[in-house]
Structure 1
Amino acid sequence: MNNLHRQLAPISDAAWEQIDASARDTFRLRAAGRRVIDVPAPGGPALGSVDLGHLEVGGTSDGVEARMFRVQTLVQVRVPFTVARQDVDDVERGALDLTWDAVDEAVERLVDLEDRAILHGWAEAGIVGLTQASTHEPVRMRPELEQMDDAVAAAANVLRLANVEGPYDLVLPQELYTRIAETTDHGRPMLGNLVPLLDGGDILWAPAAESPVVVSRRGGDAALYLGRDASIGYQAHDATTIALYLEESFTVRVHQPDAAVALVA
């Protein structure tokens, strides 16, 4: 037993399987940040910080120099939610039409927080994101949607001139992604016009993104460090509901700040 206390929940193995599967499917669909940076294997719930590989002078004592290891602490996030005991019991009766909306909503909230931290930072958690760390000036987008390819091409060229090789991914906020997906240019889908500009990269839907960003997928430029990866735990229950939570501990480190270019209106 670990401190998620899943064994104490009045939830059968079959019901846990459905709940976990729903969470995984929603996570895979919605998460964009993990696709553009490295994700080393989780260090486990005991991991509280990552070593930055640098020392700083801490002073001297009796002629002995002291130097402190620089570290970046992880932040633990938890999203509480509830499921109905009726739904859990219905699994044992063979129900296959359960939607687990509360599970999906919790996953969406966690993924959006993680993606915002990766892309744009999270000051309270000591995280500097890709767009904050970038050494490149943002590329301006013209108001005409049909000119989006000019901005994407310019951003990719900025990376090439900085000797940052591709492929490049284009991360788009939800509203802009929808507009582009529904727009044609001379009879051709706009998404199709943008793909060739990315040297084999992808166009990613990121509901939590605050602005578009073009980022190299060459690897080694930034990493999401996980203690405990997204996991569902048990908190309490009564006669009708079961209180669960989604928990994750993580931090983000940008190693090479020249690998991403933001696009701004």
Structure 2
Amino acid sequence: MDYLSRDAAPFADDFWQQLDNTITETASKILQGRRFVPIYGPLGIGVTNIELDDVENLKEVADNGIIFTAGRSYIQIPTLYTDFILSAKDMQTSQHSGYPVDLAQAINAAEQAAIQEDKFIFFGNDTLKIDGLFTAAGTQKITKTDWNIGENSFKNIAEAINLLVKEGIYSSYSLLISPDLYLQMQRIQPGTGILEIDRVKKLLHKRVFVSPVLGKEKALLISADARNIDLAIGQDLQTAYLEQTELNHKFRLLETIRLRIKRPKSIIQFE
């Protein structure tokens, strides 16, 4: 069974190859969550549920000949999707003239899908009660000082690292920040000749990630190790053929993903 319905579509393999390459290249330029959150999968479109372990409380419990795993729950892997339409006239013209297909609408959809994925990773979904990095319960918090002044940003980040170390969380420290905070660190520190952002990048081994999805005044430090967090992927970002509607061709860009926060205290928010 062709889940993506590509066999039913009137297109040659080279079109699908062009479309897949365009989608991947476009999305990869925008996606930030995948740059630091470990990937678990892809597991396949048929995997709709997955276990979520509370690392701090995970253990096997035996009672009267019955053994079960405490600290483990099972969660759904939802589908994220974005639809787009390509003109049938344009595709016919391309086929007969030999010109490349204009994939502007597909590029727009790939950008929307990438933004949607990052929003889902960072903020989850309130309606579905799905946690994101900024909305999960049990994360740690630090009062953020004014990053426009002196060494405040460096000191706050160093404080956060020290807090993680005290909790026994030692590896893969990554900083996720909004563009405005990133710009605030583009200042030369008096007496050093070094930009504040360069000091921070050196402290974090260059693991600094900026996303416009965050809006303004948003930052967190995370130990992005697979023991603490990962992104479970069933179906990775792919394009399916839906139908021909009003003589044009309708497609669906989809993926099935779920963020698994196994150790909430490995996340520190600056508030």
Give the alignment's TM-score, normalised by structure 2.
0.79
| Cα distance in 2, alignment partners of residues 129 and 15 from structure 1 | 36
Name the structure 2 match of 1:138: 142
Name the structure 2 match of 1:8: 8
Question: How many residues in Structure 1 have an aligned counterpart in Structure 2?
Answer: 255
**Deviates most, 253-262 or 156-165:** 156-165
Q: Aligned runs of 1:184-223 on 2, under 5 Å?
A: 184-186=187-189, 188-198=194-204, 200-210=205-215, 211-223=218-230
Cα drift, residue 88 of structure 1 = 3.7
Cα drift, residue 256 of structure 1 = 0.9
Cα drift, residue 176 of structure 1 = 3.6
Q: Are 1:249 and 2:253 counterparts? A: no
**Deviates most, 4-13 or 72-81:** 4-13
| Cα distance in 2, alignment partners of residues 97 and 164 from structure 1 | 50
TM-superposition CA deviations, 1:210-262 (whole Å, max 9, x none): 52111113332112222222110111225763211111122222111121111
| Residues 41, 142 of structure 1: alpha-carbon distance in 2 compared, 3 angstrom cutoff | same
Q: Aligned runs of 1:149-168 on 2, under 5 Å?
A: 149-168=154-173
Cα drift, residue 144 of structure 1 = 1.6
Give the alignment's TM-score, normalised by structure 1.
0.80
TM-superposition CA deviations, 1:142-174 (whole Å, max 9, x none): 152653223222222222222211331111224
The answer to whether the Cα contact below 8 Å between 1:15 and 1:91 also exists between their aligned partners in 2 is no
Cα drift, residue 134 of structure 1 = 4.3
Name the structure 1 match of 2:238: 231
Name the structure 1 match of 2:76: 73
Q: Which amino acid aligns with 2:209?
A: L
The answer to whether the Cα contact below 8 Å between 2:228 and 2:264 also exists between their aligned partners in 1 is yes
**Deviates most, 125-134 or 82-91:** 82-91
The answer to whether the Cα contact below 8 Å between 1:37 and 1:222 also exists between their aligned partners in 2 is yes
| Cα distance in 2, alignment partners of residues 142 and 251 from structure 1 | 34
The answer to whether the Cα contact below 8 Å between 2:38 and 2:225 also exists between their aligned partners in 1 is no
The answer to whether the Cα contact below 8 Å between 1:12 and 1:88 also exists between their aligned partners in 2 is no
Identity rate of aligned residues, in percent?
20
Q: Are 1:112 and 2:103 counterparts? A: no
Query: Where in structure 2 are there 5+ consecutive unaligned residues?
Result: 60-65
Q: Are 1:171 and 2:176 counterparts? A: yes
